[in-house]
Chains A and B, each alone.
Chain A
Amino acid sequence: MSFINYSTREINCKIVYYGPGLCGKTTNLQYIYKKTAPEQKGKLISLATETERTLFFDFLPLALGDIKGFKVRFHLYTVPGQVFYAASRKLILKGVDGVVFVADSQIERMDANIESLEDLRINLAEYGYDLEMLPFTMQYNKRDLPNIVPVEEMNRVLNPNNVPYYEAVATVGKGVFETLKDIGKQILKELKKNY
């Protein structure tokens, strides 16, 4: 749920990075944090375990610029990917404006991708959202690894509705900003349509 404040002239939107454990959601946020100017970003908050697995969420506020005199801010969140953090994962989705699904391109992680995508659909439905109606972008991450599924196959299995998708290597930043821009644009266009 975007928050439009006429008094402070701000538009705030919430983007959630979803996907199976170790697919690179936090890495996306870390790269964005590293590459944005200090005045554009807030602190990157990570609620993680001692082994740096996301426990509750990561959070990064980003200020993009102005549109018609309104400051546009995106709040980026990741969910914990591990299966047993289901309860906290669901909480993060509350009020989401757009979702990025980070898929792990490795052959042995395809089942985990499918399971996570199904989990996303179910959790959204519990809040009354329909994934088909939400701004939604796919990211096929880890394209630099040797044992990966071809993009056509990933699209066939994970992306039947043909939403925008980006090939990525989040550790070096490939595809990271392309994904962010795409979801950001989708959200603003959706707002324009409805508001």
Chain B
Amino acid sequence: MALDSKVPQGPLKDKWTDYKNKINLVNPANKRHIDIIVVGTGLAGGSASATLAELGYNVKAFAYQDSPRRAHSIAAQGGINAAKNYQGDGDSTYRLFYDTVKGGDYRSREANVYRLAEVSANIIDQCVAQGVPFARDYGGLLDNRSFGGVLVSRTFYAKGQTGQQLLLGAYSAMNRQIARGKIEMFNRHEMLDVVVVDGKARGIIARNLVTGEIERHSAHAVVIASGGYGNVYFLSTNAMGSNVTAGWKIHKKGAYFANPCYTQIHPTCIPRSGDYQSKLTLMSESLRNDGRIWVPKNLDDVKLIREGKKRPTDLSEDERDYYLERRYPAFGNLVPRDVASRAAKERCDAGYGVNATGEAVYLDFAAAIVRYGTEQAKVKNIKNASDAKIKELGKAIVKAKYGNLFQMYEKIVDENPYETPMMIYPAVHYTMGGVWVDYNLMTTIPGCYAIGEANFSDHGANRLGASALMQGLADGYFVLPYTIGDYLADDIRTGKIPTDTPEFDEAEKSVKENINFFINNKGTKSVDSYHKKLGKIMWDKCGMSRNAEGLKEAIEEISELRKDFWKNVNVPGEANEFNEQLAKAGRVADFLELGELFAKDALVREESAGGHFREEHQTPEGEAKRLKEFQFVSAWEYKGEPKDAVLHKEALEYENIEVKERSYK
């Protein structure tokens, strides 16, 4: 099947408006007869569910957690971008579009990104109307901060808990519709397959995670909003339950999977401490507004620090290497995430890592504390303030800005980051790749949509900070509700979709067979042991830098591991009960397939772009080297084993932006 992105004709800035003017609409009376399934209740799924229900559709929403409020969007810290230009610093829709395309290393679709930038301002208005308590200045107006890869302040925030506040906003909008009966909420339910009838997505098979019951749910359209697949690495900043299963099941039924190798490794996470580690914790990018990143200049100092004979605070300014400021004077500590992560890896690989594992760099707030303290002393008219007083005043400001992050760090590491620099290291955080969708956010299965992190559409090869929240809410509040209506306009006479059909029988049967296999296998190795092995292969060979040899090994090793899994996996307990191991076995089975496709995609993409860094393709300075012949989206069609997947290319054309070398120097 040829890929058709369905991007509307006309000038970039008019495409979305013209599109909305011309699409088919469903009248309110007819919406009452149309059902929509939404899988996932994070920012994308939650906002979509609420908005579709407000419009009058009957929504069935599914979450594997015990409440929609617990989806992992809740953990997003730093902020949400919007082209409001409240700071008068030259921001505009075009500039947000430009920054996003450039930040994504020219690997995203122009029309989608422009639409995202266009609706960004509406998101802030909507959230404020919902009662989201964004940070404000003393005049009562909204405050902004800066994020990486941009030269304006367009990030709105609610302390270090912006994701939480936005998700609770979407959750509150959902609650209003749940109360009206327009959303039927299925908590502790996991989608295990999509049901395709006459070529259209018409329902799902879900497992009740409390009783183990397998359920059939039908609808006129199915929306996948299940987030990213970062947990293929085992260790990531994702939640423990985050998984690719919904996206992978639709892939197996005909949805193409795009750019799986585009993964974001976030530069500022708390370094790992031992083999028992179950997850990694992010320290918001917003910290790079005020924190300076460095390692010692001399290897002798590194040695003494690792041995505990010297402390970072003992090193003078001359003895420190602020390597981001040195290498990228224009953007300094606020370079984009892929650039910052690779720079940290480069220093640590060269032996400058500052903790026992050699995988940590410093994020230092001492200068910011003095800067804020000096300013506060002036504001408070304190003459000749002592150093101690200045520090005290400065710490109060830093605490107000990042208090919860500092507390989180202190609880995990047992060190006080106000006094000694934080130690950080890159970790898997977000996946730009995902289910391929057209301009309508529809996958290659008619009637099946993918929104938020689950799709591939807007971030190209690297996502800028504070843009994930923007995309999730843009898709759910302002894009999907229009595009899905255009499709559903043909369904007003269809009537309720029956679930007693051969298609549902078949899907349920295969789900049940899979579950019975796990329960009856009685193997010797735990699910987690496979997940950890997969994660290690992924991190070592498909991590921050990749090469052909390693990727070929990864493909072999993952394929072997998958065979071993299907032979020897041990899942205790019963099918018809609350059984976390069983749920996890199904998720790991899908990761074991995705991981191989991931490596294959990375092998085929013989260039470096954004988060995908091929060692064979770098400039003499070690920067990513993009190649014109790879200016396309890789969309993979499922054909059985991952090695048999067929590549389809969607050419990317840039008519409104000049494709240049991406420089932050």
Question: A and B, one complex?
Answer: no
